[in-house]
Copies of this chain bind each other. A is one copy, B any other.
Amino acid sequence: MTIIVPVSESPGRSRPRTSPRAVGRDLPLDEILVGDCIAQMAKLPAKSVDMIFADPPYNLQLGGDLMRPEGSKVDACDDDWDKFDSLAAYDDFTREWLAEARRILKDNGTIWVIGSYHNIYRCGALLQDADFWILNDIVWRKANPMPNFRGTRFTNAHETLLWCAKDEKARYTFNYQAMKALNDDLQMRSDWVLPICSGSERCKDDKGDKAHPTQKPEALLYRILLACTKPGDVVLDPFFGTGTTGAVARRLGRRWIGIEREPAYIKVAARRIAEALPLDESSMTTMIDKRSAPRVAFGLLVESGLVPPGTVLTDAKRRWSASVRADGSIEAEGTAGSIHKVGAALQGAPSCNGWTFWHVEIGGRLQPVDTLRQQHLASL
């Protein structure tokens, strides 16, 4: 039996940002589906979600109790849901939920799977076997990992995430400029330094103990959702736990679906998500990728008077100059054509982005013509 736990009190009013992509789908949005993850996934329609974030059991295969040097016992993850009879049993389980995930995912959607060395090599190989196309593996470098108390190995200080598309040709979402902004104007790398989930962020049960042994930090989901979804996109988390995915999705204006078996986790997750307030529209805005911005032809700037015919363009170092013609083409040293073609020809390069190559003098300073394009876009 499926039990659905609605989390938002007024779903109708909480959906102002729903994109057309999610409209009209027979999807239980912003709700926790109670039950076995494979059984619940089987009920969801094909090609219906934009992203899947999966934090499956790690199959830790722990031995006896581990003691700290001062004598206390380490509170290990020894729950039944993390136990499998064999690697083969773990593989079977993984194959099954990955098959459902692949069915549910839109063709241009992506899947994230997180794990440790105990299980991530099984997951990675089975993802590839299921024809998923790995886009990156990401290392979550823990700023404050648990030390190796026995001094027998290297401190296990990271976990691994796999980011995959459904196939090589998929046109997946990657908000390159938002990630670059998040990383001080440098490309975001495949290694992420983030603290583990602790302090007030860590969900507690009624007794004040940690509610879930492997709660993920919100900063991790924040980066993933910001990088690989658009506002209004639907994110499915088949191993919902205490609902980090739901809380961050709500905060960032994304829709979510959680699947979870354990009532104790569901109770914590529902309360937590209800308390996670969505950001307002302006705070949620991120840097727009030029690829996804509406196209503006250079000629349009000429037509609209922002760049009058006859304007002289130069490159940043004033090595070359060109003059703008009435139809938006430019002319330099006997060559005429688009800002891109002429830029490429002058440099002897195979290609050239004329928007950043050509400059105009505004207020005594050289500005790339791209600035004018941005102004034009902002005025729309």
Q: A173 → chain B, closest Cβ, in Å?
A: 11
Contact with B along A336-347 (1 / 0, CB 8 A): 111011000000
Instruction: Give the contact stretch, choosing among A21-29, A74-82, A303-311.
Output: A303-311
| A152 and B176 within 8 A (CB) | yes
Q: A171 → chain B, closest Cβ, in Å?
A: 10
Residues of chain B with a CB closer than 8 A to A219's CB: 300, 303-305
Residues of chain B with a CB closer than 8 A to A134's CB: 117-118, 121
Residues of chain B with a CB closer than 8 A to A336's CB: 285, 287
| B326 and A87 within 8 A (CB) | no
Q: A232 → chain B, closest Cβ, in Å?
A: 14
Instruction: Give the contact stretch, choosing among A43-51, A122-130, A236-244, A259-267.
Output: A122-130
Bound-state Cα–Cα, A226 to B222, Å: 39
Question: Do A284 and B303 contact each other (CB < 8 Å), given the known contacts A154-B189, A154-B190?
Answer: no
Does any Cβ of B come within 8 Å of A2's Cβ? no
Q: Please tell me the size bucket of the interface on A.
A: 35 or more
Contact residues of A between 291 and 320, Cβ < 8 Å to B: 294-295, 297-300, 302-305, 308-310
Contact residues of A between 259 and 288, Cβ < 8 Å to B: 279-280, 282-287
Bound-state Cα–Cα, A139 to B145, Å: 15
Contact with B along A94-110 (1 / 0, CB 8 A): 00000000000000000
The quantity of this chain's copies bound in the complex is: 2
Does any Cβ of B come within 8 Å of A19's Cβ? no
Question: Do A283 and B151 contact each other (CB < 8 Å), given the known contacts A117-B136, A303-B182?
Answer: no
Contact residues of A between 114 and 173, Cβ < 8 Å to B: 117-118, 120-129, 134-139, 141, 143-145, 147-148, 151-158, 160, 162-163
| B117 and A121 within 8 A (CB) | no
| B71 and A349 within 8 A (CB) | yes
Does any Cβ of B come within 8 Å of A14's Cβ? no
| A191 and B282 within 8 A (CB) | no
Instruction: Give the contact stretch, choosing among A5-13, A31-39, A207-215, A327-335.
Output: A327-335
Q: A146 → chain B, closest Cβ, in Å?
A: 11
Residues of chain B with a CB closer than 8 A to A52's CB: none
Question: Do A334 and B378 contact each other (CB < 8 Å), given the known contacts A184-B298, A195-B304, A303-B222?
Answer: yes
Residue pairs across A and B with Cβ atoms less than 8 A apart, 30 shown, are A67-B350, A71-B350, A87-B129, A117-B134, A121-B124, A121-B128, A125-B125, A125-B126, A136-B153, A139-B139, A139-B191, A151-B187, A154-B179, A154-B189, A154-B190, A154-B227, A155-B188, A158-B190, A158-B191, A178-B329, A181-B329, A193-B300, A194-B304, A195-B379, A219-B303, A219-B305, A279-B326, A284-B309, A284-B325, A285-B325
Please give 12 more A-B residue pairs, beta carbons under 8 A apart, in addition to A121-B128, A191-B191: A121-B125, A122-B128, A125-B126, A181-B327, A185-B338, A185-B340, A218-B305, A222-B303, A252-B326, A282-B325, A283-B323, A287-B327
Which 5 A-B pairs give the minimum distances between C-beta atoms?
A: A121-B124, A182-B299, A283-B309, A283-B310, A125-B125
